[in-house]
Each structure stands twice: as C-alpha cells, then as structure tokens.
Amino acid sequence: MVETTRSAEADTFPRLLLQHAQTRPQRPAFREKDLGIWQAWNWAQVADEVRALACGLAALGFKRGMNLAIVGDNRPRLYWAMSAAQCLGGVPVPLYQDAPAADMAFVLDNAEIAFAVAEDQEQVDKLLEIKETVPRLSRIIYDDERGMRHYAQPELCAYEKLQQIGRDYDRAHPDFFMNEVRAVSPSDVAVILYTSGTTGKPKGVCHTHAAMITTARVLAEFDHLDDSNNVLCYLPLAWVGDFLYSYGMAHVSGFCLNCPESPATVMTDLREIGPSYYFGPPRVYENILTQVMIRIEDAGWLKRRMFHSAMKLARRVGIPILDGRGNVSLRDRLAYALGELLVYGPLKNVLGMSRIRTAYTGGEAIGPDLFDFYRSIGINLKQLYGMTETCVTVCMQASGDVRLDTVGKPMPGVEVTIADSGEVLVRSPGLMQGYYKRPDATAEAIDSAGYFHTGDAGFFDADGHLKIIDRARDVGRMADGTLFAPKYIENKLKFFPYIKEAVAFGDGRDRCMAFVNIDMDAVGNWAERRGLPYSGYTDLAAQPAVYDLVAECVAKVNADLAADALLSNSQVHRFLILHKELDPDDEELTRTRKVRRGFIADKYAVLIDALYGGKPSQYIETQVRFEDGRRGMVSAELKIRDVKPQGPAQPPGTAAKRPVKEAA
Amino acid sequence: MNAVTEAGLIDAPAPGARRIGEVILDLRNISLSFGGVKALTDISFDVREHEIRAIIGPNGAGKSSMLNVINGVYHPQQGEIVYRGQPRRGMNTHDAASSGIARTFQNIALFKGMTVLDNIMTGRNLKMKSSFLLQALYWGPAQREELAHRKEVEKVIDFLEIQHIRKTPVGRLPYGLQKRVELGRALAAQPEILLLDEPMAGMNVEEKQDMCRFILDVNDQFGTTIVLIEHDMGVVMDISDRVVVLDYGRKIADGTPDEVRASQDVINAYLGVAH
C-alpha cells in the first residue's frame, strides 16, 4: 500500500492517469483483442492518447462543465473518451449500448448532451435517428470507421481525425492540456450514471472524483489489489459496477483492463486473459454454471461420474478448505487435492477462473446452490451490497468471513443504520452528490442527516452482518399474513439450469403462483438429446415434456420451501411457461435484466386471472419489439400446470386440504 | 444494423458514392446445352466493375448454369466470354480462380470437420507461394507467409463478425452462419468478381438482413464486383444495381430494378399468364 499513500495528492482521475504514466509508464494499462491478437497499450501510451483526444474535443468546442455521452461496448477508446472528458473538466455520461434510440433520447436530452462518442455505425445511426428530438447534439465522434464512408453529416467526426486535430491543437497550445488537468478539482463531478429505472424515468446519479477515488482506494486496500491484477471489462459502461471496478480501480491500483473482442466472445476472452479480480451480477455466474451443466450432461459417463462425485465431495469440504477452517480431516483434504487435480482445476481453467484471487457478486441475491458451487471448487466468490447512488460499496464480505445469506459487514468509513420501517440507510464518503438536475428526487433519497434511503429491507444479525431480505416495497404478505418474499422463490426456481426467469405472485393472495421462462440453451439441448423436435421458443415452451421437466423443478423448490416454517405457505401451487422470453426491449426486464414484477403483472393480468381462476389453459396475444424496433405479435394457448404443495406445514384454507388427502 | 431496416430492407448507398466503372465481364451470345436439353440459349449481358449484378429467374431458368459458365465449370457450345478485354476460351475453374473470380455455392460446400478459421484459410490457397515441404515444416518463409495469410483471414473474420466461432467446427454451426463462413472463404481469396449462388436461400428475415448488409459492405469497402443469383425478389431489387432475368434459358429482361419490375415478360414469368 506504499503506492496509495505516496499518491495521496493525486485526487482526480486525470491526475491519477498522469501519475501512472510517470511511475509505471511501461506497465500495460489496456488490452484489446484485435484481428485475433491481444494488443496492449501501456500507461504512457494511454496518457498520450487521452491527451490527443482531450485536445481534439477542446478544439471542437468541448468546454469545462459540459457532458460527453459515450455509447458502445467496452472498448479502450471509449474509456479514453471518459478520461478525456474528465481532463477538460467535463463529465462522461456512459449510456447502455443496447438501449433503443428512444430511450437514449431521454438521457441525451436530460444531460444536455452536445458531444457524443459512439462506437460504430450502429450507434451512430441511433444517434442520428434521434437527433431531431435532441437539438443540442452537435458533434458525434465515432470509433469504428466501418460502413461510415458515405455518411456526410457535418456533425460526424472520426476518432482518429479528432486525435489528429487534437495533436495539432496541442502543438499550438502546449500548456493547454496541463492547465485544464490542474483546474479539475476533487469535488467536481467525475461521472453521471443513469439508473436503469426500475420505476419511472432514469435519473442521472452524479459522483464526484473524490467519492469514486476514496471508494476505489478502500476497495483496493480491502482486497490488497496492486498493479499486477488483470480485469476483464465486459459489463455495460453505463453501469456503476463497470465504472468503479474497471475504470476507477484501474486508476487507483494501476492494473490492466482487458476489453473483449466482441460481446459474443466474452467466455473465450475470459479464458485467455484469466482475470485475477472479477465482478459479475449473479446472472453471469448462473449462465456460466448452466453452460457447465449442459456440457457435463453431454460428456461421457466416466467424466460425468468423476464430475458428480468430485462435486459431492467439494460441497461437503470445499468451502471449509477455502475459508481455512481447520475442521477438515486429512483424508478429505487429500481427496479434495485429487479432485483439484482432476476436476476443479481443469474446470476453473476452462471457465477462465484459474487465476481469480477475489470474485464478487452483487446487484441481486444469489441462489444458494449457485454461490456454493463456485466457493466449493475454490473460487473466492464473495458478496457485496450497494447501489449506484452509494458507489456500490456499502457492505462487503471479507475473505474467510463469507456467508450465503448476508452481504457482509459495513465497509470502513460507511455508516449503515436500519430505519424503524426496516429500510436500510447509508451514509458514506462514496455517496452521490445528487441526482442530475433533480433536487426534489435528491431530497427524497438523502435525508437531512445525510443518510441515503436504499429502499431495501434488511437487518443486522448477531455478528454484525447485514442481511437484505428484498426490496422494501416487494416484500409482501400472503392473505393469511405469512411472509411472501417473491425474489426468494424466483431465485430458487432460477437456480435450475432449465429455468431462465421466473416471476412469483402471491402478495395478498391465498396461494403462490408463478410464470416461468425456460432457458433456451439448456432446454433446447435437453430436447435435442431426447429427439424432441421443436421450431422455436414458443413451440418448445408449450411441449408437455418441457412442462413435466419444469414441474419437477417446481416440486423440488416446494420441498425446499416446505422445510422452512416461515416460507412454507408460499409454495408454488400452479405455474405456466410463458410463450415469449421476458425482454428489456418489451420493458419486462430492466436494462440490468431485473424482473419488473408490477409491469409484468399488469401486462399479463389475464394469465394471472387464469392461474387463480383454476383454468387449465389460457389464450394470449402479446406484442413484441424486435431489436431493430419493429413490432410483431406472438400468440399462444398457454397451458397451466398444477404442482402439489408439500411438507408438514399446512396452508390454511381449502386449497391446503388437497395435498393431505392425496398423501393419505 | 438500423440502417438495414429503415427503408424496406436496405437503404442503398448515396448515388455516385460508389463509382461503377467499365465493363469488366462481357458475355456474348452464350448457348449451353446438355445433350438435347438447352440450358442457356443465346444469352448476352455484361457486368461492370464495382457493380452488384443480379441474375434472377424461376426455378430451372438456367441461373446456376450461367454462374458455372462464368467461373469455368461449364464450357458453352457457342458464344464468347470477354474478361477484362481478353476473350476467354476453355478456361477451367483454376484459371478462373487465379484470375480473381471467387464464388459461393447454393448448397454449402465447406469442410464440415474443419474450424471456421481453417475453412476461410483454404480461401487463401491460391495465394500461398512457399513449397509444400516448407509449409509442412512451418519454417522460415513459410512461417512468415502463414502469418501474413492469417492476418488477412482475421480481417475477414472481423469483417463478417464471426470472431466468436473462429475455432468452432463448421459442421456444428447453424445454416445462416455456415453461409457466412462460405462468403468468408470466398472473400479471403480477395476476388475481383464474387459470384454468389443464392446467398440468402433458406435464411430467416434477420439472417437475410445481415447477409444483405455484408454483401453491400463488401461491395462498398473492397470495391468487389458482385454477381449474385437470388430467388427473393425483394432482396434483389433492394441491393442490385442491374438485374438480368432468365426464363427457360433465355434472357427476358435486363436493366435497373425498376425497369425489370415494370417488364411485362418478367411479371408473366413470375406470376404466370392466363392463356
């Protein structure tokens, strides 16, 4: 930690960048795979690129206090664009690259964007499409020149050309860049991150240099990160997690950011890079595990047996060994070592997780089995808790003190209290400055004592670990007053590789019902192995055999729920498999792919009525939006399947008597 | 891919941006028959440099035969082919390939067991100069040559956006992607004329849009002249500069998409005519 104390005076991102360019000019700062080969840029080169870009932006009229929109996948040049904006005292505003043009228009207008940096033709087209509604937008800089030759719009400028303009400008005004960098103060806004907007219009969260850097330093110290680390940047630029864990942490620790070749190659790139520090929402870990399970099912019997018996051992002793707890017998330790040699090691290698020192998950509750899987094979996966407004970092689990059902203890410098209503309140140096141009919303979120209201319900357990139950407003009660935590049930369902998404209903009702989305990869593969023909998602989802498969999963979840007295009443009584995949384009999921339960309940009200009305099936027609913005209709006659609730606890009311009778 | 969908299927490049040059390939009075079956009868048309030229027609109209005549698989009994001002007679497929004509096939003709990368690498075959022995040893000039070729192949992979399947055996890929790989192999040969035999057959709308975009991009970025056969009238009308229409081995129309669309003969051939 010598480095961080020595660099105490570097308190803005531009100064950190220049400092790295001086202290470790030859260390790699960015890598990107191009034409199949990893290309690296060292810190000195990056500082040079950023300088040219910043001067270019200034030459075109980008001034202190302006916002720079950044649209695209994780590309080094887009990160440099962020740096360039910060060097000039401007603010980068990264946008979700897969958002349709109309959604972008709101943010561009709200953030008063005049300059935008776009990755490629696709993003440029979107920006040009909404240009009329966003009249301020006057300059679009594009990185990838492919397909751009015939664009004659005066607002367009190629990235390389801009840098050329910048180098000329720099020669003419040699002091300009350094003066600009010196003028940036730690209390200036470093980035505006628009929240994904689970409710209402997106709000721009403003974070200062000081907040981000202080937080990143705490994180670096917490996990002892130095410049020898490697991180793969694959999460959306617009997400606070990517800004903090990739951009912010690299600036503080001086490690290398690796950008994948394309979004489709992330798994391959992960394996080639072998990151040492890894952050992903539960969904990513879930997808990886699903892929593993599919491949194991397709493997020969010997490999399958080896995997399953090794995993059985790992589930028993892997976690104590990882945490260094001493109560594992020598025999088990030897067997685990053999497992490491034959199964866990090769498996981690295939997943690109051989070199991981610390992996985090957060953003959503992680399924218990999912969490245990990674920890049991020796990956130090830990949970953290936080949100965009708090620079993530509220609570984190320390290595060796990891539990499934908590999110760890509050981080140094962070004060966490629980309001009388059960809501978690946070006060920390990493708190946002406010919502952009929304003093009303800011006042609502941060109270007079400086506490941020998270909207999550939680409590501290006996050891001081914070436990989050659900979103405060999502936790409900069944008709008989027992607890109904929909996310808990959904997560249990989603752990099965065959189930991609689930939505549980039961608040104020006597029974719990569920919608299910099957995982096209896993179920498709399963159907292929059984020789089941199908034409597409809708067809596959309606197959009776698939219903049987999902019913089995639901029954297992019910058995699990039955074991817990508190939650036994929220067993799933009936379910249906939706005819289409829930999609952010149809507003059913947020851009970070969280289920928007209320919206779904309204949209599919007829299905919920059918579930509770006891109908055997229901016809539905739904409008869908394709990626290119066109619309179409999907319709299907959805079957509804009953599942027997289980267990000792008997739900009240008539519905509860059935299982007892049948068991007799 | 937004631009692909805004106006119909494709918004064509601004007129004049792509300069269509001189006649590069001229087919004069071509007649081809197999025994008593006349596949092509007295067909003449030309292809200009940098243009996208479509050959359309109902099933059995002689479209694929026409393509096979161009790249030397079939030798017409009558007529003359002038390529770059030189009359060509009795040219075989190898000569055609070395003179810069590459093609894809109606039924995919890839090496199913080989990876995408290796398949596209085969497209560089004619450009490899070092001897078999050196290549087998992967030594000296052969190594340098391979690196250079690999770079070209990677450019093609990047261009067609198939990085994620670089190391996947072709046999495991869905049909639409296989078609793309086949286009990649043809592109790897850096052809002057690219012959595409039904590049969009059997594809869904999205795959067709992607393929259209790639064809336009190839034409635009590399200036490659493209001759394509296609069933889908919509696609052809959207992306072609000129269209020639065959029916029962005869040419029934030739001109811009609009002219062809208005031709009564074409309407009759496609929709049938009341007798």
Are the CB atoms for A375 and A382 separated by under 8 Å?
no
Tens digit of pLDDT for each residue in A186-222?
999 999 999 866 557 889 999 999 999 999 999 999 9
In chain B, which residue's Cα lies nearest the Cα of A630? B5
Sign of the Cα torsion B132, B133, B136, B142 reads negative
Best mutation target among B50, B158, B163 (most A Cβ atoms within 10 Å) is: B163
- Rounded Cα distance between A500 and A367, Å, is 13
Residues 6+ away with beta carbon under 8 Å from A234? A74, A260, A263, A266, A269, A270
For residue B145, count CB atoms less than 10 angstroms from its CB and return exposed for 0-12, middle for 13-18, buried for 19 or more.
Answer: middle
CB within 8 Å: A150 and B17: yes
What are the sequence ranges of the domains in chain A?
2-276, 278-303+320-354+356-385, 387-473, 476-663
- Give the mean model confidence (pLDDT) for residues A145-155: 86
Question: Do the chains contact at B164 and A262, CB–CB below 8 Å?
Answer: yes
- Note the pLDDT tens digit of each residue in A570-614: 899 999 999 988 988 888 888 777 888 889 999 999 999 999 998
Locate the chain B residue with the closest alpha carbon to A122: B1
Let me know: does B238 contact B9? Beta carbons within 8 Å.
yes
Nearest CA in chain B to A264: B164
Task: With beta carbons less than 8 A apart as the criterion, state whether A458 and A467 touch.
Answer: yes
Of A443, A484, A432, residue with least CA distance to A209: A432
Do A262 and B14 make contact, defined as CB atoms within 8 angstroms?
Answer: no
CB contact under 8 A, A122 and B163: no
Question: Confidence class of residue A660 from pLDDT cuts 50, 70 and 90?
Answer: very low
What CATH code would you report for A2-276? Answer: 3.40.50.980
Surface-to-core class of residue A421, CB atoms within 10 Å of its CB (0-12 exposed, 13-18 middle, 19+ buried): exposed
Q: Does residue A363 have a pLDDT over 90? A: no
CB contact under 8 A, B217 and A121: no
User: Which of residues A646 and A79 earns the better pLDDT score?
Assistant: A79
Q: Does the pLDDT value for residue A621 go beyond 90?
A: no
Adjacent-strand bridge partners of B26: B46, B82
In chain B, which residues have their Cβ closer than 8 Å to the Cβ of A153?
none
Sequence-ordered list of residues with C-beta below 8 angstroms from that of B107, at least 6 positions apart, any chain: none
Does B166 contact A629 at a Cβ distance shorter than 8 Å? Answer: no
Between CA A20 and CA A312 the distance in angstroms is 46
* Per-residue CA distances from A389 to A110, A327, A382, A661 (Å): 18, 41, 21, 52
What does the pLDDT read at residue A476?
Answer: 77
What pLDDT was estimated at residue A623?
83
* Chain A residue set in contact with B, beta carbons under 8 Å: 33-37, 101, 121-122, 125-126, 129, 146-147, 149-150, 152, 261-262, 264-265, 268, 627-630
Residue A230 DSSP SS3: strand
Q: Measured between beta carbons, which residues in chain A are less than 8 angstroms from residue B217?
A: 146-147
**β partners of residue A92:** A68
Q: Do B5 and A628 touch (CB under 8 A)?
A: yes
Share the mean pLDDT of chain A: 88
Look at residue B2 in the predicted model and tell me its pLDDT.
39
Give residue A348's pLDDT band: very low, low, confident or very high (50, 70, 90).
very high
**B164 contacts A150? CB cut-off 8 A:** no
pLDDT for B15 equals 41
Identify the CA nearest to B168 among candidates A581, A265, A510.
Answer: A265
Instruction: Render pLDDT for A406-439 as a digit per residue (tens, 0 to 9).
Output: 889 999 999 999 887 778 899 999 999 999 999 9
Cα(A543)–Cα(A528) distance, integer angstroms: 13
Pick the CATH number of A387-473 from 2.30.38.10, 3.40.1160.10, 2.160.20.80, 3.40.50.2300: 2.30.38.10
Tell me the shortest Cα–Cα distance from A628 to chain B, in angstroms: 6
Q: Which residues of A touch B154 (CB under 8 A)?
A: 35-37
Task: Show the beta-strand stretches assigned E in A368-484.
Answer: 381-385, 395-396, 409-410, 415-418, 423-427, 434-435, 452-460, 466-471, 476-477, 483-484
| A265–B163 CB contact, under 8 Å | yes
| Min Cα–Cα distance to chain A from B148, Å | 12
pLDDT of residue A70: 96
Buried b (16+ CB within 10 A) or exposed e, A21-39: beebeebbbbbbbebbeee
- Mutation choice for B interface testing from A97, A122, A150, A535 by most B CBs within 10 A: A150
The structural domains of chain B, ordered by start, are 1-100+191-275 (3.40.50.300), 110-189 (no CATH)
Question: Distances from the Cα of B236 to the Cαs of A446, B43, B201, B233, B239, in angstroms?
Answer: 60, 20, 12, 5, 6
Q: How many CA atoms lie within 13 A of A408 on its CB side?
A: 24
Provide the pLDDT for residue B108: 83
pLDDT at A2 over 60: no
With CA atoms as reference, the chain B residue closest to A269 would be: B164
Phi, psi of A537 (to 5 degrees): -60, -50
Which residues on chain A are in Cβ contact (under 8 Å) with B155?
35
Work out the average pLDDT over A455-462.
80
Look at B164 and A265 and tell me if their CB atoms are within 8 Å: yes
Taking an 8 Å cut-off on Cβ atoms, the answer to whether B1 and A35 are in contact is no
pLDDT of residue A566: 63
Q: In sequence order, what DSSP letters do the residues of A459-521 get, joined into one string?
A: EE-TTS-EEEEEETTT-EE-TTS-EE-HHHHHHHHHTSTTEEEEEEE-TTSSSEEEEEEE-HH
**Cβ within 8 Å, pair A126-B157:** no
A-chain CB neighbours of B214 within 8 Å are none
In this prediction, residue A132 has a pLDDT band, given cuts at 50, 70 and 90, of: confident
Residue of A33, A34, A35, A146 best to disrupt the B interface, most CBs of B under 10 A: A35
Is B220–A265 a contact, with Cβ atoms under 8 angstroms apart? no
Contacts of B151 in chain A (CB under 8 A): 35
Q: Which residues of A touch B173 (CB under 8 A)?
A: none
- Within 10 angstroms of residue B44's Cβ, the number of other Cβ atoms is 14
Mutation target among A146, A294, A298 for the B interface, most CBs of B within 10 A: A146
Which residues in chain B have Cβ-Cβ distances shorter than 8 Å to A124? none
Residue B217 and residue A149: Cβ atoms within 8 Å? no
Closest by Cα among A205, A231, A99 to A592: A99
Q: Which of A146, A261, A627 minimises the CB distance to B163?
A: A261
Band of the pLDDT at A549, cuts 50, 70, 90? very high
Across the interface, whether the CB atoms of A152 and B158 are under 8 A apart is answered no
- Show residues of chain B in contact with A268, CB under 8 Å: 164, 167
Burial of A426 (0-12, 13-18, 19+ CB in 10 A): buried
Measured CA angle at B218 (ends A628, B73), to 5 deg: 120
CB A255 within 8 A of CB A246: no
Which member of A37, A129, A264 has the closest CB to residue B2?
A129
Write down the pLDDT at residue A648: 52
Write down the pLDDT at residue A657.
37
- Residue B18: what pLDDT? 58
Average pLDDT over residues A344-367: 89
SS3 B134: helix
CA dihedral A400, A401, A405, A407 (to 10 degrees): -110
Question: Domain A476-663 has what CATH class?
Answer: alpha beta
Q: How many CB pairs under 8 A join A and B?
A: 54
Contacts of B161 in chain A (CB under 8 A): 262
pLDDT-derived band at A647 (thresholds 50, 70, 90) equals: low
Per the CB < 8 Å rule, is A35 touching B14? no
A61 burial (CB, 10 Å; 0-12 / 13-18 / 19+) is exposed
Residues of chain B where predicted confidence (pLDDT) is lower than 50: 1-17
Amino acid identity for residue A92 in this structure:
P
